[in-house]
Amino acid sequence: MSLEVRVRHRQGGFLLDAGFRSTGGLTVLFGRSGSGKTTLANAIAGLNRPGEGVIRLGDTVLLDSARDIFLPAHRRRIGYVFQDARLFPHLSVRHNLAYGTWFTRNRETVAELDQAIDLLGIGHLLDRRPSGLSGGERQRVAIGRALMASPRLLLMDEPLASLDEARKAEILPFIERLRDEVGIPIVYVSHAVAEVARLATTVVVLADGRVVRSGPARQVMASLDIFQGQERAEAGALLDTRLAGHEPAYALSVLQAPAGRLLVPLLDRPVGTPVRLRIRARDVTLAVCQPDGLSAQNILPGRITAIGRTDGPVVDVQLDCAGDLLIAQVTRRAIATLPLEVGRPVFAIVKSISFADGSDMGPPA
């Protein structure tokens, strides 16, 4: 189901003027706090009413300011998982989950109660009150509650932001299963690079109420200008690979990507499994000729496609390695002395690889 959004909404001194399009999968609205992500999500849910714009979900017009159409939130069938769960304190977990079904008549259900309970692992919580749940449990119940209302689209506003790392790791697999198994389109608000890397099909980058970049996750994450300040340390490209084989003698696994073969510590998964990797820009070194006698084993040939601009010492360089995009952080001095310029063939020496979920594989071979 396609989602088309184009809105202009003024809220105090802030102007949101943004639009994007999604044809399914998981779309991440990415940006720092105050960039307008939540305002945009609220516009899709119908919790605010943009002064101008069009929002369409499949064949349904949710908002069309020119034709004075505004479908109220309760008629949109858009599930919303809030950052703070917002479970009803006066209802048990069971009744929280059932709440949305009280208002859905003869609609095809996305998830049966048993199925949702199973998917989210909340069967043992049904008779509890929300006040007695942990943060992670609350968030899972909130996801189940949204699903039970048979939504046509699921909005998730930083559902993991208030949780610690362990609780995040507990919920991320559920969101992946929603994306892959339930097949419901998801719009996911986040400012965490690790979540984007792991979950996103499409990324929409917002800054100051405007969309600065949008497209497939791999392309957007490999663009040079979306990370600023502290986030630059997290900048890095995504690589969708396939597990090609194992080298048990060295405790290594071989991953195949269009860019080439990569060696990583032995993965306990069957050959053929898709594996999404994140390669941080700071972990990539560039060489202008084929390196020889290096201990590093992961060396990918490519061509420079763009060089970032900065006054600081470190510059981002984007490479095209047989269709896969990588970013490398090198010194401005190296750019000038090697010299590195757009179009020049180079070799990327990858010092460290992360799984897309943020868990580190450490320096591989």
Binding stretches for another protein (CB under 8 A) = 45-47, 72-80, 82, 84, 86, 88-90, 99-100, 102-104, 129-132, 145-146, 149
Judged by beta carbon, residue 157 or residue 195, the one nearer another protein is 157
Specify the DSSP class assigned to residue 244: E
Residues forming beta bridges with residue 11, ordered by sequence position? 14
Q: How far is the CB of 8 from another protein (least distance, A)?
A: 22
**How far, rounded to the nearest angstrom, does the alpha carbon of residue 40 sit from its chain's CA centroid?**
16
Secondary structure (DSSP) of 48-114: S--SEEEEEETTEEEEEGGGTEE--GGGT-EEEE-TT----TTS-HHHHHHGGGGG--SPPPSS-HH
3-state secondary structure of 320: strand
Q: How far is the CB of 72 from another protein (least distance, A)?
A: 8
The whole-angstrom separation of Cα 53 and Cα 19 is: 9
Judged by beta carbon, residue 22 or residue 150, the one nearer another protein is 150
Judged by beta carbon, residue 102 or residue 250, the one nearer another protein is 102
Judged by beta carbon, residue 67 or residue 105, the one nearer another protein is 105
Q: How far is the CB of 89 from another protein (least distance, A)?
A: 5
Judged by beta carbon, residue 36 or residue 144, the one nearer another protein is 144
Number of H helices, E strands in the chain: 8, 21
Q: How far is the CB of 6 from another protein (least distance, A)?
A: 21
Two tokens, residue 332: 């401005």
Q: Which of 234, 238, 81 is nearest to 160 (CA)?
A: 81
Judged by beta carbon, residue 11 or residue 219, the one nearer another protein is 11
Amino acid sitting at position 213: R
Q: How far apart are the first and last CA of the chain?
A: 43
Q: How far is the CB of 229 from another protein (least distance, A)?
A: 31
Judged by beta carbon, residue 12 or residue 89, the one nearer another protein is 89
Judged by beta carbon, residue 122 or residue 326, the one nearer another protein is 122
Residues in the chain: 365
Q: How far is the CB of 51 from another protein (least distance, A)?
A: 19
Q: Which of 337, 335, 291 is nearest to 313 (CA)?
A: 335
Q: How far is the CB of 84 from another protein (least distance, A)?
A: 7
Computed on alpha carbons and rounded to an integer, the radius of gyration of the chain in Å comes to: 22
Q: How far is the CB of 104 from another protein (least distance, A)?
A: 6
Element (H, E) at 262: strand 260-265
